[in-house]
Amino acid sequence: MVIPDWKEQEWNPEKPDSYAGIFHFNFWRFGEWVDVIVDDRLPTVNNQLIYCHSNSKNEFWCALVEKAYAKLAGCYQALDGGNTADALVDFTGGVSEPIDLTEGDLATDEAKRNQLFERVLKVHSRGGLISASIKAVTAADMETRLACGLVKGHAYAITDVRKVRLGHGLLSFFKSEKLDMIRLRNPWGEREWTGPWSDTSEEWQKVSKSEREKMGVTVQDDGEFWMTFEDMCRYFTDIIKCRLINTSYLSIHKTWEEARLHGAWTRHEDPQQNRSGGCINHKDTFFQNPQYIFEVKKPEDEVLISIQQRPKRSTRREGKGENLAIGFDIYKVEENRQYRMHSLQHKAASSIYINSRSVFLRTELPEGRYVIIPTTFEPGHTGEFLLRVFTDVPSNCRELRLDEPPRTCWSSLCGYPQQVTQVHVLGAAGLKDSPAGANSYVIIKCEGEKVRSAVQRGTATPEYNVKGIFYRKKLAQPITVQVWNHRVLKDEFLGQVHLKSGPEDLQDLHTLHLQDRSSRQPSDLPGIVAVRVLCSASLTAV
């Protein structure tokens, strides 16, 4: 809560001696709530508040909040032209998601528009904050008023989102005709939208008096107005949704599991210790960046990822370029990976790169293990960051610190890996027939370690797309890939292949006939399996 214990801080005319002239405010910064204390001295000219003020002459809470936020930023000037997404996060502790309304043709694509409206409605109904704006391309564009009454460059607050019932009396309930509508407020507290559904618009005759009262429709130039969501998508260029991520186990709504990790981009002459490699454009140094591994444990899950950098300066007196251009890539990796990535794998998702304090991505990912690589756009830039990963079930998110298996006092006795082998089982074909098709899965075995794929149901040509990585000490022992049919009582063995790969196998694709577990010929069992193998004597090759 931004204003903690507000009743105790409020002026009480019955207890004037308890008033101390100081106020506490809380803002969320870099993973924690920061207590900011200010006094009640506010900047004025001719006895009038200069900046934020209320219509009521004896109400000062907004001016006091502004003063506390300016103190946190360094000065009032630091708030001028600030980033709305950052401010929403500072006031809520949520994660901000920017949406470009000019993409996807939302004004004419009703299906996409309805989908976005439902998401905006859900964020609003669960206490999130939402802002909308019309992009000002040039400095001259700033605060330009359009013919429809809207102003460019203003961060309009969305104060209500609802489906409005059209019609009067009982007829309105039987017709069940509803309109997607948004209420917005101009931060100036004046100058409103003049198009359809504005304060004096004749469209309001389509809505019953009781519905208008429920919506709080007023006819005054107070900066607050209603418009249809369709018109909003037509005139506005950007929306910022600040979602309050629900992590409470007691909630009736969807809850999320949060992993929160602090990290840093640091520069070092030794490539193995350098952690500021820049984006994927810099292939020689990209994998030197910090790396974080997490797991998706459902067949498919929505994953929310936010990265926030710590500003290098607490004030913008010297300009507005303190934010680094940051972003992140997500790669699907081997199911048993424990060490850092050193070569490109399948890119599952990627954020934008922008010089904003925070970058957010919402994506759907299939079951498996993934590595997040947060980076600055250019190599050599340094700074701290906070990574937040939200999943439906715990993701076991953690940093990968080691490049290869560590040498210990037992290495001389038990041996140390001589080779790294990545096995990628792509799929199979011609598996043993069954009326409903096989419910098959594969197990990759190497020196006592196993990697198992998800079950592919009802098909004789499954696509497993599963990887395992093995640091091998006994090169004479083959790697085994087994195919099984999942059954209720006991799983059925469908066949296996042995891989005797050497360092010469680099991205070789093998199509192998399944064998049974005896010494019979490969043709004894139906089916083939496609396997790609990568081997190297360098343990940091994969």
Residues 363-393 have pLDDT tens digits of: 999 999 999 999 999 999 999 999 999 999 9
Please say if the pLDDT value at position 316 is more than 50: no
| DSSP-derived secondary structure letter, 476 | T
For residues 53 and 48, what is the distance between their CA atoms, to the nearest angstrom?
A: 9
Mean of the pLDDT values across residues 237-254?
79
pLDDT of residue 412: 75
Q: What pLDDT is recorded for position 530?
A: 93
pLDDT in tens, 46-68: 888 888 888 777 888 889 999 99
Check residue 164 and give its pLDDT: 87
* Residue 105 or residue 161, greater confidence: 161
Q: Are 8 and 24 in contact (CB under 8 A)?
A: no
State the average pLDDT over residues 420-440: 84
Own/partner contacts of 404-413, CB < 8 Å, gap of 24 or more, are 404/339, 404/471, 404/539, 404/540, 405/339, 405/471, 405/539
For residues 467 and 479, give the distance between their C-alpha atoms in angstroms, rounded to a whole number: 13
Instruction: Kindly state the helix (H) or strand (E) to which residue 231 belongs, with its residue range.
Output: helix 229-235
Three-state DSSP state, 495: strand
Give the pLDDT of residue 249.
67
User: Is residue 464 a contact partner of residue 425, using CB atoms and an 8 Å limit?
Assistant: yes
Give the confidence band of 506 by pLDDT, cuts at 50, 70, 90.
Answer: low
Per-residue pLDDT at 317 exceeds 70 = no
Q: Which domains does the chain have, with CATH numbers?
A: 6-80 (no CATH), 99-108+129-243 (3.90.70.10), 257-400 (2.60.120.380), 415-536 (2.60.40.150)
Both tokens assigned to 181: 């509508």
3-state SS, residue 6: helix
Which range has the worst mean pLDDT, 8-17, 136-145, 202-211, 338-347?
8-17
Whether 421 has a pLDDT exceeding 80, the answer reads: yes
Judged against a pLDDT cut of 70, whether residue 225 lies above it is answered with: yes
User: Taking 60 as the threshold, does the pLDDT of residue 315 lie above it?
Assistant: no
CA distance 261 to 257: 13
Condensed to tens digits (0 to 9), the pLDDT of residues 31-40 reads 899 999 999 8
Is 70 exceeded by the pLDDT of residue 281? yes
Distance (Å, rounded) from C-alpha 368 to C-alpha 466? 9
For residue 251, the SS3 value is coil
Beta bridge pairs of residue 286: none
Per-residue pLDDT at 239 exceeds 90: yes
CA–CA separation, 481 vs 451, rounded Å?
10
Higher-confidence residue of 307 and 524: namely: 307
Whether residue 424 is predicted with pLDDT greater than 70 in this model: the reply is yes
Percent of the chain with pLDDT over 70: 92
What is the mean pLDDT of the segment spanning 187-196?
A: 83
- 449-452 and 129-133 strand pairing: unpaired
Residue with tokens 């903690």: 4
Mean pLDDT, residues 326-346 = 96
The sign one gets for the Cα dihedral 226, 228, 229, 230 is: negative
Q: Please give the average per-residue pLDDT across 227-234, as a whole number.
A: 93
The closest alpha carbon to 437, from 394, 494, 384, belongs to 494
Please tell me the predicted confidence (pLDDT) of residue 335.
95
pLDDT of residue 388: 95
Residue 359 has pLDDT above 70, yes or no: yes
Q: Is residue 252 predicted with pLDDT exceeding 80?
A: no
530: nearest Cα among 413, 429, 380, 386: 429
Strand ranges of the sheet holding 419-429, from the earlier edge strand across to the other edge = 463-472, 419-429, 528-536, 506-513
Q: Using an 8 Å Cβ cutoff, are 322 and 313 in contact?
A: yes
